[in-house]
Amino acid sequence: MMRRWIPTIAIVVAMIFWSVSGIAIKHALAVLPPFTMIVLRFTPAVLLMLVIGMLCRKSDLFGLQRLDKKDIPLFVAAGFCQPFLYYLLETFTYRALNSPTIAEALLSTSPLLSPLFAALIVREKVTRNNVLGILISTVGMYLLILVGSEHFAIGNYFGVLLAFLAVTAAVMDTVIIRKIPAKYSPLSIIFYAQTVSLLFFLPIWLFKEGPETIYQLPITIYQSEMQVALWCVAYLTVFASVVAFVLFCYGLRKTSVTQANAFNNIRPAFTALWMLLFFGEQLPMAKWIGMILIIFGLFVCQKQEKMSKS
């Protein structure tokens, strides 16, 4: 019975780590340019996964398998969709929309698109419990994000399109991961996908920020603000880019695209709790109700669903 819940627990732990990512990214970007932060985040992450994979070759979770040529297009597609394309679109979404709250709400709609993509592309069965649970959880997510916000003006409607494209890229990434052959471990999948993403990011970084960063970073590395930023990047490297991605990939390949993406609604709830515990940000009753609806919706989504075997 416990084994049945291991993939769910893995996904929840991944969401906990990712729920801190927004806070860490905010502090890192206060000092570091965006592409520099991404390169500093994913370069050591790829190297760390390479070392772990070589040391744990026989592990089903952390082993690093050789990549077959026929599977290269799947890994290129996965790496292009996320992190590369999603991160680019996410950045421009926040720039195009007046309200960060509206942007966050739009970027949190991946569970709503997941059943459609899962049914059309990977032919997964989407049940009424899946749909009902996602709708309940999404209502809770919007209560959590929007209640108490002062600015609701959407602004540039091009930003709405960018948010939709970002969410589409994120959902497509999960669909592609489900189509990758089962012989690859979760760490192998994330290692190859993030390597591809890094290869896409590096030319942009070199063109836009590289020379200035190479000159400025050694000068500012001992400043307290830079050290805080680098500690935040270290968190993003180890926990958000390696541990969380591997755990989510493991859970995704043991459940379904619809069920796994439904847990994205719980990330704002964890973020709100961290803000309450560590920054004293108070939560009105509507936000607590939102959290309860998110959790209840997740239980409904998982109800009477059997774990798929990979």
274 in Cβ contact with 131 (< 8 Å): no
- β-partners of residue 155 are 97
Residue predicted with more confidence, 239 or 94: 239
pLDDT digits (tens, 9 = 90+) for 212-244: 888 888 888 888 999 999 999 999 999 999 999
Q: Which of 15-29, 130-144, 162-176 has the highest mean pLDDT?
A: 162-176
* Predicted TM-score of the model (pTM): 0.85
Length of the chain: 310
Confidence of residue 307 (pLDDT cuts 50, 70, 90): very low
Confidence of residue 145 (pLDDT cuts 50, 70, 90): confident
177 in Cβ contact with 249 (< 8 Å): yes
Confidence of residue 73 (pLDDT cuts 50, 70, 90): very high
User: Which of 134, 146, 159, 154 shows the shortest CA–CA distance to 257?
Assistant: 134
Give CA separation, 151 vs 157, 224, 281, in Å. Answer: 16, 33, 18
pLDDT of the residue at 153: 53
User: Which of 29, 21, 38 shows the shortest CA–CA distance to 197?
Assistant: 38
SS3 288: helix
93 in Cβ contact with 159 (< 8 Å): yes
CA 220 to chain centre: 30
Give the integer Cα–Cα distance in Å for 190 and 201: 16
Q: Lowest-confidence range among 50-54, 112-116, 188-192, 204-208?
A: 112-116
Percentage of residues of the chain with pLDDT beyond 90: 43
